Structure 1
Amino acid sequence: MISALEKEITLRYLKTRKKDGFLNIISIFSFIGISLGVAVLIIVMSVMNGFRSELINKIVGFNAHVTVKPYETSINLEKLNSENLKLISKELILSNSGEAIVISKNYTKGLILRGYSRENFLKLDVVKKGNLIGKSNQLTKNSISIGKELSFNLDLSVGDKVSIMSPVGIETIIGSLPRQETFIIRSIFDSGLADFDANIAFINLETLENFFSFKKEDRNLEIYLNKPSNIEEAKNKIQEIFKNEFVYSWADMNSSLFSALKVERNVMFIILSLIIIVAAFNIISGLTILVKNKTRDIAILKSIGVMNKSIVKIFFLVGVIIGTTATLFGIFLGVIFSLYIENLREFLSNTFNISLFPEEIYFLSTMPSEINPTSIFIISLCSIFITIIVSIFPAIKASKLDPVKGLKYE
């Protein structure tokens, strides 16, 4: 317990006085340093969490949650009626895909073509959410739906024609030539990810199979789950149903990306924690100077019977209060900045005419932010723990002061 005397003396030492001079400066810098360290850590963690969540939502919203790919024999369609599969899935779609080359004027690039029937194309999230220009129900023979980024690169719009070359050859009298067909752009979609919009296009499933000389037995099964976040559990259940097929999920396809994000987030946490540690060490300097300045006061307190443990408590509380209030202020700053980080980005971009979050690099058009209470709790806990540790040494040093020497030299 803390006595009334200990509280009174602690509060008195926390008040700024003109004669303290340099001590006040150190205390202020300690407070600012810890506050900024906590705030920056919360902002960075919020942006990293937001970036990861937004990226998952974009990937999950555009790609199949789980894909079943046949090896040698076609997928047994009777398994689609499995009760276990119906419980976890909301859509089951047959599809196929292949790589081709798109040719437009003087521009050529590689392109992934995904084939769907006209009915199944309407079931895709990117279509259901209305993120496309044009007619979504016209994915018929020799029709194509391209991404917004690709339409900008090729300077194409709905109704234009585009030539696509297949790696599959056609035998002619002069030898084998690549197959080339012209497609009419029926719609332009916007997935929210520039990488997808620039490199993926949709065509009719039967047209794709003819274009690449695929068989119907080669078709994949795309499974869209009710809860795509429980991907590993769902994947294991699907693998039990399709034991002879290759089953992979969106997490498998992007495992390296999310592993890199996790490592980067952990490294950033460690690096930015050093700001708090450096600022906390200023508390040692401040308390040490405070002990030196209050030598006479400590000697008087001891001479009137104040115990050593009370002296320890007083100086320990001074350090902890500075660190705790700085942490709370840092949390306030961090949360406010995290909530309005996109507004701040827009303001700085417009004011200084710079691009702080280029879409072509980060895949997203806005700076995401997701405040995680658990992260804030861990950051706060670490900050207060560091403050407690650095406050112990000066407090113990103050309790060991000899009152006789203290009064003699004062």
Structure 2
Amino acid sequence: MISILEKEITFRFLKARKKDGFLNVISIFSFIGISLGVAVLIVVMSVMNGFRTELINKIVGFNAHITVKPYDKIIDQNKLNNNNLKLISNNIIYSNSGEAIIFKKDTSKGIVLRGYKSNEFSMLQIINNKEFKGNKSNLQKNSLSIGNELSFSLGLKIGDEISLMSPSGVETIIGSMPKQKTFIITSIFNSGLADFDNNIAFINLNTLEEFFGYETKDRNLEIYLKNPSSIELQKNLVQKIFDEEFVYSWADMNSSLFSALKVERNVMFIILSLIIIVAAFNIISGLTILVKNKTRDIAILKSIGVLNKSIVKIFFLIGVIIGTSATIFGIILGVTFSIYVENFRQFLSSAFNISLFPEEIYFLSKMPSEINPSSILLIAICSIFITIIVSIFPAFKAAKLDPIKSLKYE
């Protein structure tokens, strides 16, 4: 426990006097350094968490949460009536895909075609967002739905005709020739990810199978979950149901990307923690100078019977108070900045006419931010722990002062 006397002396020592000007400067720099370190760490963690969440939402919104791919025989439809499957899924639809070449005058481009039934096309999340243009239920034969990036790059609009070439060959008198069909653009979608919008298009499932020479048994099963975030447990459940098929999830398709994001976040946490550590070492300097300046006071306290452990508590408390108050101020500063980080980005972009966080690189139109209370708690604990560690040495040094020698040389 801390006595009233120890509290009084602690707060008295915290009040800087005129002759302690240099000590006051060190304390201020310690406070500012720890506060900025904590604030920067919170902002960086919030932006990286927000970026990861936004990326997951866009990927999950465009791709099937779980895909079941048959090996050599058609998927058993009776398995679709499994109660566990119905419990976790919102929609279950059939699909297939293939690669083709799209032609527009003198321009050609390779794209991935995804095929869906006309009545199931409107179930896709990407079709139901406000950026979608065209008829949601119109994916009939020779209909084509393309991304807005592809429409910009090729100068296409709804109602235009476009030619597609399939690698599947047609036998003629002069040999095998690739299939070529003309499609009409009936809709344009926007996933928010330029890579998807520029390289993927949707067509009717029956048309796709005819175009690529696929059979009905080649169809995949796309499962859209009620809660796509807890993907591993649900994937294992689906794998048990479809034990003769290959099952993979959106997380498997993008595992390298999210592993890289996780490593980057951890490395940034370690690097930015060094700011707090460096700032905390100023507390050692400040407390050491304070002990030197308060030598006479410490000697008087000891001579009137104040115990060494009380001296340790006093100087230890001073360091902890500086570190804790700096951490709290840093948390307030960091959280505030995280909330308004997009406004700050827009201000800097307009003030200095520079492009911060360009959409074509990061796939996002604005800087995301997600404040995670557990991350803030971890940062606060680390900051206060570092402060406690660096406050121990000066506190014990103060307790070891000899009161007789200290008063003799005063």
User: TM class, shorter-chain normalised?
Assistant: over 0.9
Partner letter of residue 132 of structure 2?
L
Distance 1:344 1:121 in 2: 40
Partner letter of residue 56 of structure 2?
I
Superposed, 1:178-327 pairs within 5 Å as 178-327=178-327
C-alpha displacement of 1:129:
2.9
Moved over 3 A (4+): none
C-alpha displacement of 1:230:
2.0
C-alpha displacement of 1:183:
1.5
Q: What secondary structure, in the 3-state scheme, does the structure 2 residue paired with 1:68 have?
A: strand
Partner of 1:344: 344
Identity %: 75
Partner of 2:48: 48
Partner of 1:169: 169
- Native 8 Å contact 1:315 1:395 kept in 2: yes
Partner letter of residue 192 of structure 2?
G
Measured against aligned partners, the alpha-carbon deviations of 1:165-207 in whole angstroms (never above 9, x if no partner) come to 2122222333322222221111110112121111111011111
C-alpha displacement of 1:349:
1.4
Distance 1:372 1:175 in 2: 62
- Native 8 Å contact 1:36 1:330 kept in 2: yes
Partner letter of residue 355 of structure 2?
S
Partner letter of residue 4 of structure 2?
A
Measured against aligned partners, the alpha-carbon deviations of 1:291-335 in whole angstroms (never above 9, x if no partner) come to 111111111111111111111111111100000000000000110
- Native 8 Å contact 1:47 1:338 kept in 2: yes
Distance 1:256 1:114 in 2: 23
Distance 2:14 2:162 in 1: 74
Partner letter of residue 344 of structure 1?
F
Number of residue pairs aligned between Structure 1 and Structure 2 = 410
C-alpha displacement of 1:286:
0.5
Higher mean C-alpha displacement, 198-207 vs 11-20: 11-20
Distance 1:166 1:341 in 2: 47
Partner of 1:364: 364
Partner of 2:103: 103
C-alpha displacement of 1:271:
0.6
Distance 1:71 1:359 in 2: 39
Distance 1:390 1:304 in 2: 29
C-alpha displacement of 1:93:
0.3
Partner of 1:136: 136
Partner of 2:59: 59
Superposed, 1:396-407 pairs within 5 Å as 396-407=396-407
Partner letter of residue 223 of structure 2?
I
C-alpha displacement of 1:157:
1.4
Distance 1:350 1:203 in 2: 42
Measured against aligned partners, the alpha-carbon deviations of 1:261-301 in whole angstroms (never above 9, x if no partner) come to 11111111111111000000010001001111111111111
Higher mean C-alpha displacement, 178-187 vs 22-31: 178-187
Higher mean C-alpha displacement, 82-91 vs 368-377: 82-91
Q: What secondary structure, in the 3-state scheme, does the structure 2 residue paired with 1:71 have?
A: coil
Higher mean C-alpha displacement, 271-280 vs 226-235: 226-235
Q: What secondary structure, in the 3-state scheme, does the structure 2 residue paired with 1:119 have?
A: coil
Superposed, 1:63-74 pairs within 5 Å as 63-74=63-74
Higher mean C-alpha displacement, 245-254 vs 160-169: 160-169
Partner of 2:159: 159
Higher mean C-alpha displacement, 54-63 vs 326-335: 54-63
C-alpha displacement of 1:144:
0.7
Q: What secondary structure, in the 3-state scheme, does the structure 2 residue paired with 1:146 have?
A: strand
Partner letter of residue 105 of structure 1?
K
Higher mean C-alpha displacement, 108-117 vs 278-287: 108-117
Instruction: Mark the runs of 5 or more structure 2 residues left unpaired by the alignment.
Output: none
- Native 8 Å contact 1:74 1:218 kept in 2: yes
Aligned-pair Cα RMSD in Å: 1.2
Q: What secondary structure, in the 3-state scheme, does the structure 2 residue paired with 1:52 have?
A: helix
Measured against aligned partners, the alpha-carbon deviations of 1:188-243 in whole angstroms (never above 9, x if no partner) come to 10112121111111011111111111111100000111111221111111111111
Partner of 2:382: 382
**What TM-score do the two structures reach when normalised by structure 2?**
0.98
Partner letter of residue 4 of structure 1?
I
- Native 8 Å contact 1:316 1:392 kept in 2: yes
Partner letter of residue 273 of structure 1?
S
Partner of 1:409: 409
Partner letter of residue 66 of structure 1?
I
C-alpha displacement of 1:131:
3.0
Distance 2:31 2:275 in 1: 12
Partner of 1:23: 23
Instruction: Mark the runs of 5 or more structure 1 residues left unpaired by the alignment.
Output: none
Partner letter of residue 238 of structure 1?
V
Partner letter of residue 157 of structure 2?
S
Partner letter of residue 275 of structure 1?
I
Partner letter of residue 17 of structure 2?
R
Partner of 1:333: 333
Q: What secondary structure, in the 3-state scheme, does the structure 2 residue paired with 1:228 have?
A: coil
Measured against aligned partners, the alpha-carbon deviations of 1:249-268 in whole angstroms (never above 9, x if no partner) come to 11111111111111111111
Distance 1:174 1:358 in 2: 51
Distance 2:130 2:117 in 1: 18
Distance 2:13 2:150 in 1: 66
Partner of 1:391: 391
Partner letter of residue 170 of structure 2?
I
Q: What secondary structure, in the 3-state scheme, does the structure 2 residue paired with 1:21 have?
A: helix
Distance 2:183 2:33 in 1: 61
Higher mean C-alpha displacement, 277-286 vs 298-307: 298-307
- Native 8 Å contact 1:194 1:364 kept in 2: no
